Amino acid sequence: MSALKRVSDAWEDFRPDLDPKYSPNFYRFLTSRKRRLFAAYSTGYRHEDGSIWFGHIDPDSQTWFTGCQIMRIFCVGAGAEIFAHVGLAKHLTPIPDFWELYREKGRCAIDPEHKISFVGDEASRYAYQGDVRTCRNCGAKHRRVRHEEVVVSETWASLDAAERKD
């Protein structure tokens, strides 16, 4: 029987009140009494569809994954449910140095393209100057690009209703 390896428990390093780059919900998850032990043996994995999962692969079967999608944790914090997923492990690749990446970049390690908006984050995550925003956490710069979209919609109107108006 193989044993799980303790990965981390330095949760105080990730306090969002000391550094806003860290997710308040992830911190609540990591420090909740119910999740502390689970989190200590867990790390990040990239699914083949690009999503990131947080948990661990059963060392004996190598087919079971216990955990959940990290965005679920970022959304609901300690309320995120953990499940054992049979067969999921074969679709996951461990993220090398997950904890070091999170320590260095915070939420930007989870969203390096800066495509995700975190609740209450827009004003604190970016500094704005004209059409350029700069991430306060990692320094990434983005230019606002405006474009027009033409939307064509179609509905069906009852002829009976139109005849009644005449």
Annotated domain spans of the chain: 11-143
**What type of residue is 17?**
D
pTM for the whole structure:
0.77
Residue 71 CA to chain centroid, in angstroms? Answer: 3
- The label of the residue with tokens 């991430």 reads 135
Separation of alpha carbons 46 and 68, rounded Å: 12
**Per-residue pLDDT at 13:** 84
Spatial distance between the Cα atoms of 133 and 141, rounded to a whole number of angstroms: 6
For position 71, what pLDDT does the model report? Answer: 92
Mean per-residue pLDDT pooled into runs of 10, the chain (166 residues): 57 86 89 83 93 91 91 90 92 92 91 80 83 92 94 89 60
The pLDDT value recorded for residue 1 is: 40
Q: Which of 14, 119, 30, 5 is nearest to 82 (CA)?
A: 30
How many secondary structure helices (H) and strands (E) does the chain include?
7, 8
pLDDT of residue 120: 60
pLDDT of 122: 67
In the Cβ-directed half-sphere of 164, how many Cα atoms lie within 13 Å?
Answer: 5
